[in-house]
Amino acid sequence: MPRAERPLERDGSPLVEFASDLRKLREGAGGPSYRELGRRAHYSSTTLSDAAGGRRLPSLDVTLAYVRACGGDVEQWERRWHSVAAKSTALMTERAIDDDEHAPYVGLRPYGGDDADRFFRRERLTEDLLRRVAAQRFVAVFGPSGSGKSSLLRAGFVPRLTARALVFTPGAHPLEECALQLAAATGDRPGAVHDELASEPRGLHRLVRRELADGPSGAYIVIVLDQFEELFTVCQDERERSRFITMLLTAATAEGSRCRVVLGVRADFYPHCALNPELAEALQDAQVTVGPMSSDELRRAISQPAIQAQCTVENALLTSLIAYTHDRPGVLPLLSHALLETWRRRRGATLTHAGFQASGGFEGALVKTAEAVFTRFDDRQRDLARDLFQRLTAPGKGTEDTKRRISTAELDDDPVLARIVDQFTQARLLTRGEDSLELAHEALIKAWPRLGTWLAEDREGQRVHRELTDAAAAWRRHDQDPSVLLRGNRLAVIRDWADRTGRPSAKEHAFLKVSITADERERDTKRRMIRRQRQLLALLSVLLLLAVSVTVYATHSQEQADSERNKAIALKVLTDISELSRIDPDLAAQLSLVAYRLAPSAATLDGFIAAAADRVVLTPVIDDPNSAHAADDGRAVLYTSSRENVTQIWQFSNQQWRRHVDLVGGWGASAGSGIAATSDNHPDKAPKVRIWNVEQPQRPEETSVIPEPARLGTLSPDGRLLVTLDIPSDPASPRRADTAKLWDLKDPRQPLQLGPISCEERPDIGKSFVMRAAFLGTGAVLLHCGIDPGISTTAIPAKSMQIWEIGKTGRITKSGQLGPVRTDNSGSSVIVNEKIALTREPRGLTLWDMENLREPREILTTVPLDGRLGSGAIAPKLDLVAIADDEGRLTIRSLRELGSVLHTINLPGRIGVLQSLAFHPHDKALIGTSLGAVSTAWRWNLDPERAAAAVCARPRAPITAAQWDKYFPGISVKPPCE
């Protein structure tokens, strides 16, 4: 017969009530024996009996197996088990304080020097670190948060050192912290040590050498900087941070150094370290990485402390813990805390899996501990706890949040807050130093959801709060110096935060109030000063306005007088240099440049362009029948000498005209794109036209002779077509021909005649003849026609310009006409380009659109023109047309507005009449030839800046002082080319 169950001791505890309800569930299932229950649940009868014994909480697995065997509601009992476990945790947390003194595990906090005897882990890594430090002066230990870096350094590495060691964290003021630690070790005053460290980078090096001066020669001090990431999270002074790093590295690397430096750094702060060039270089070969622990290391870390405390770890628990933590980074604090909570729930001397589950499991243990403390607080205490934990955490910037060690002086003197700190410290969630407070480990930030929620709220506000905290601490540290108070934008931002959502401490609130009062007082003072300054400024402005008005009036009057004087002098200079240009053109050009700059106007600009022209006399020979012709491509001038039967080629380059090798044939000449045509002057021989290759004008080559007699040849601009006329050589005879002939010069060595071309026959008026020809690009020829009035005495209107189209195959077709007939021998003048023609008709200038050659279209109203249209040139790309009359005057006009004269250029002293003009294809320049007492080639630069540069580039004598006084009296000397 089975033995009756032991009666439960009714003490009202959740555990006894839980056991009682399990027994009732068994009775409701028909009261099966525990042996029968064991068969159903696959657990021993003893285990199931103990589950309902009320002495300890069974494991969750045992509880659920018991419930299934009795046919109970599994989900309901699972919730019931978690509730009882949470209540048991709260009760155990309250009574575990005295018992924790003998606990073999430290919970969340890192192992320290006093825990070295129970630090059973990382032996291999500790040996490696000891060897590295013995061999080199600088080593950095990197590892994820929760990997055990601090425990390795404090409980593994430092206790095994034979040298002296200083272990500390940087904090908000690393130089100050280092000075305090060093002063405690040397017995010096902290202030003096701090001054020495801050004086220059070798301060720490000198202090260490002085401390070890009387010791063995090989002795050294090891400085261990744990939680080095505080240098980037808590320290806000970038200059102090940089100086501290330089000081550490100098102490470790200086010649004769007796210092070793070991850093413990969270791995996600490696990029911050790499941004400092000195630190990045030092880290190249000085890194030790703390990774996950191996299975053997985990087994020793779990079981050895328990064995040392004369306890054992249940195999099921050991297996579960190793399986959960193996190859998982950052879980060691959670493991240590779970072991501590399981130890508090141990069964006799055994740490059981049931106790582990009752504590909340691996991650739930920490949450249960924190919640067990927090849920006992009232509303005010909870608000204080929230503010406390936000104060103990530094929000990450591109990194995870980190813990923040604070001075206890930062907290208010509030007994309620002090009790909150005590309870969290007793639960091992906070760690309290002599005058500091911090989270036991950063794992709490990730593991406690309530804390994560607090930190996610208004992160920018938390940063503003930290700025207020630091400023208030600095104010107290400087004995409430008014210069440290908040001002300007910083005060405005912090005040706005405090008014909206902020909850500063009483000390911070007092500091903020003093800052606001001081700022308002300073603003009032500034407003009074500004008001006085504005009154004074208004008075000064009135006085200044009166003075300025008088000055401006006087200055304007003087400037106006000076301007009128300058205009008069400049215009007089232009008049004076008209004759001077023939005698001393270089001096005239310089004087005209000064006049233009002295009084810029259309008249002075035109005078300067005219005087600055580059010219060369082509022949001084008298009574030599000659002519000069500007090539249509604007690059050369051809000068023909009938007496010598030669043609000179002149080109403008390097700021001067240059003559090349002469061509045979001096009666007439034409050129285009490297091809030239000359005609002979032999009255006793048949006239002929020669074709030349002048691509290299210093070495011309005669390529062919036109096979039919001709006196005059006109080349197309591209040099591929030629029109010849057989004009009498007798100067007394009219320069005209009955017909013209068109030649193809695609192969200059074998000219091909395309056919004869002629003017329209008008027997009712008189006999038609050809005076000259011009090309409309490469697609048409325009014949300048005339009519011999000897047959008829009545002038009947007719066309005087005959157009012949040239097809792509060389076929020529008579096309349209333009211009009225004139009954004199000179005919009507025309200037042509590929698509445009300009005629001088009795009514004036007319512009024609030559797109449709059969019906040319007049595109502008006629513009009056005094005198004859002697010569001209069109530059469509520049929208310009140049027109020369028979008075030696050249006008530059706009193609769009022929009536608008842009420039008027007179030849110096009216020394001749312009025969031909051509625009340069690229520069804003114009070349031309004139005929007078001598033949002259000209080049005008229409851009005043380029013209000035050309004048100053010529070899010249500068304007003398006497010349300046003569032409510019009363004006300060300003040489134009300096």
Specify burial of residue 551 (Cβ count, 10 A radius: 0-12, 13-18, 19+).
exposed
**pLDDT average, residue stretch 119-136:** 88
Distance CA 138, CA 263 (A): 8
What pLDDT was estimated at residue 261?
94
- With contact defined as beta carbons under 8 Å apart, do 439 and 447 qualify? no
**pLDDT average, residue stretch 662-675:** 86
What pLDDT was estimated at residue 909?
60
**pLDDT average, residue stretch 820-831:** 49
Q: Do 396 and 476 share a structural domain?
A: yes
* Residue 552 confidence (pLDDT) above 80: no
Residue 294 burial (CB count, 10 A): 14
* 680 in a structural domain: yes
Total number of domains in the chain: 4
**Residue where one domain finishes, among candidates 719, 739, 758:** 758
What CATH number corresponds to the domain at position 80? Answer: 1.10.260.40
Q: Per residue in 294-322, pLDDT tens?
A: 888 888 888 888 888 888 888 888 888 88
> Within 13 A of 662's CA, how many CA atoms are on the CB side?
13
Distance CA 978, CA 971 (A): 17
What pLDDT was estimated at residue 795?
42
Query: Which is more confidently placed, 463 or 263?
Result: 263
Residue 910's pLDDT band, with cuts at 50, 70 and 90, is low
**Using the 8-state DSSP alphabet, how is residue 601 labeled?**
S
User: For strand 901-906 and strand 889-894, is the pairing parallel, antiparallel, or unpaired?
Assistant: antiparallel
Domain enclosing residue 182, as ranges: 122-292
Q: Could you tell me how many residues make up the chain?
A: 978
Q: Do 224 and 371 share a structural domain?
A: no
Q: Per residue in 180-205, pLDDT tens?
A: 989 888 888 888 888 888 888 898 99
Residue 750's pLDDT band, with cuts at 50, 70 and 90, is very high
Q: Kindly report the three-state secondary structure assignment for every residue of 320-344.
A: HHHHHHCCCCCCHHHHHHHHHHHHH
* 73 in a structural domain: yes
> Which position has the token pair 């005057």?
889
Residue 730's pLDDT band, with cuts at 50, 70 and 90, is low
Q: Do 44 and 128 share a structural domain?
A: no
Distance CA 135, CA 138 (A): 9
* Residue 718 confidence (pLDDT) above 50: yes
What pLDDT was estimated at residue 10?
67
Q: Do 484 and 445 share a structural domain?
A: yes
Q: Do 417 and 342 share a structural domain?
A: yes
Question: Which has the minimum average pLDDT: 98-112, 350-364, 820-834?
Answer: 820-834
As a 3-state breakdown, the chain gives helix, strand, coil percent values, each rounded to 5, of 45, 25, 35
Q: Do 624 and 694 share a structural domain?
A: yes
**Using the 8-state DSSP alphabet, how is residue 152 labeled?**
I
Residue 528 burial (CB count, 10 A): 10
Query: Which is more confidently placed, 385 or 823?
Result: 385
Distance CA 600, CA 593 (A): 10
Residue 793's pLDDT band, with cuts at 50, 70 and 90, is very low
User: Residue 721 CA to chain centroid, in angstroms?
Assistant: 57
Q: Per residue in 685-697, pLDDT tens?
A: 778 899 999 888 8
Residue 609 burial (CB count, 10 A): 23
At 147 the three-state DSSP class reads: coil
Q: Do 200 and 346 share a structural domain?
A: no
Q: Per residue in 848-895, pLDDT tens?
A: 888 888 888 887 666 766 656 668 888 877 788 888 877 778 888 887
* 389 in a structural domain: yes
Specify burial of residue 697 (Cβ count, 10 A radius: 0-12, 13-18, 19+).
buried
Q: Compute CA distances 500 → 317, 495, 791, whole Å.
A: 51, 9, 112
- With contact defined as beta carbons under 8 Å apart, do 107 and 428 qualify? yes
What pLDDT was estimated at residue 563?
81
- With contact defined as beta carbons under 8 Å apart, do 651 and 657 qualify? yes
Q: Do 467 and 394 share a structural domain?
A: yes
Residue 619's pLDDT band, with cuts at 50, 70 and 90, is low
Distance CA 616, CA 628 (A): 12
* 466 in a structural domain: yes
Distance CA 128, CA 142 (A): 14
Q: Which amino acid, residue 165?
A: A
What pLDDT was estimated at residue 555?
64
* Residue 681 confidence (pLDDT) above 70: yes
**Contacts for 644-647 with beta carbons within 8 Å, 24 or more apart?**
645/680, 645/681, 645/682, 647/676, 647/678
* 744 in a structural domain: yes
Q: Per residue in 800-824, pLDDT tens?
A: 788 888 888 888 888 888 765 443 3
Residue 928's pLDDT band, with cuts at 50, 70 and 90, is confident
Q: Do 743 and 693 share a structural domain?
A: yes
* Residue 144 confidence (pLDDT) above 60: yes
Q: Per residue in 209-265, pLDDT tens?
A: 888 888 888 889 999 999 898 898 888 888 999 999 999 999 999 988 899 999 999
What CATH number corresponds to the domain at position 274? Answer: 3.40.50.300
> Within 13 A of 225's CA, how many CA atoms are on the CB side?
25
* Residue 101 confidence (pLDDT) above 60: yes
* 361 in a structural domain: yes
Order the strands of the 912-919 sheet from edge to edge: 614-619, 935-941, 925-932, 912-919
Q: Do 271 and 181 share a structural domain?
A: yes
269 closest CA partner among 397, 405, 110: 397
Q: Per residue in 41-95, pLDDT tens?
A: 888 887 888 888 877 778 788 888 888 989 889 888 888 888 887 676 555 544 4
**pLDDT average, residue stretch 574-590:** 81
Residue 130's pLDDT band, with cuts at 50, 70 and 90, is very high
Residue 188 burial (CB count, 10 A): 16
What pLDDT was estimated at residue 623?
53
Task: List the Cα angle 876/886/922 in 5-degree steps.
Answer: 25
* Residue 791 confidence (pLDDT) above 50: no
Distance CA 585, CA 83 (A): 114
**Using the 8-state DSSP alphabet, how is residue 864 labeled?**
-
Distance CA 262, CA 166 (A): 10
* 913 in a structural domain: no
Average pLDDT for the chain: 82
Question: Which has the minimum average pLDDT: 280-289, 614-623, 807-816, 878-887?
Answer: 614-623
What CATH number corresponds to the domain at position 657? Answer: 2.130.10.10
**Residue where one domain finishes, among candidates 739, 758, 777:** 758
Q: Do 480 and 368 share a structural domain?
A: yes
What pLDDT was estimated at residue 264?
93
Q: Compute CA distances 181 → 167, 204, 224, whole Å.
A: 8, 12, 11
Residue 732's pLDDT band, with cuts at 50, 70 and 90, is low
At 495 the three-state DSSP class reads: helix
At 682 the three-state DSSP class reads: coil
Q: What percent of the chain has pLDDT over 70?
A: 90
Q: Do 279 and 371 share a structural domain?
A: no
* 70 in a structural domain: yes
At 592 the three-state DSSP class reads: helix
**Residue where one domain finishes, among candidates 39, 68, 99:** 99
